[in-house]
Amino acid sequence: MKLSNNGKHKYLKFFGVLCIVFGVVNGIDAINFFNDPHAYININGVDRNDNEAKLLAFFFPLLMLIVGIFLNLVSFEGVSKANKARDNFWLPFRK
């Protein structure tokens, strides 16, 4: 399936919004875990109660939030330039 530049731009915006929503929802839970001294985080089958495990559980939603914000900041011109650069890169390999 070949998407136009406009379709790719809309797809990036939609995926960015999904990442932001996921990051916010899971980030709120991670903050609640961090503030609760009796909460346990299960890492590799081991229940851990230390702050390092709770902080580790907070990094993934934070990363998703940053990726979502970055994807929403990509402009239509940026998508067009990336497609043109990709086409120019693969040009010598095409017959």
The mean pLDDT of 33-53, rounded to a whole number, is 88
pLDDT of residue 1 exceeding 80, the answer is no
pLDDT of residue 95 exceeding 80, the answer is no
What distance in Å separates the CA atoms of residue 84 and residue 80, rounded to the nearest whole number? 6
Provide the pLDDT confidence category of residue 53 given band limits of 50, 70 and 90: confident
The mean pLDDT of 48-64, rounded to a whole number, is 90
Amino acid letter, 42: N
Secondary structure (DSSP) of 7-33: HHHHHHHHHHHHHHHHHHHHHHHHHHH
| pLDDT tens digits along 21-39 | 999 999 998 888 888 888 8
Helix (H, G, I), strand (E, B) or coil at 69: helix
- CA distances to 32, 56, 61 from 51, rounded to whole Å, are 12, 8, 16
Give residue 56's pLDDT: 86
* Residue 48, φ and ψ in degrees, nearest 5: -120, 145
Task: List % helix, strand, coil for the chain (3-state, nearest 5).
Answer: 75, 5, 20
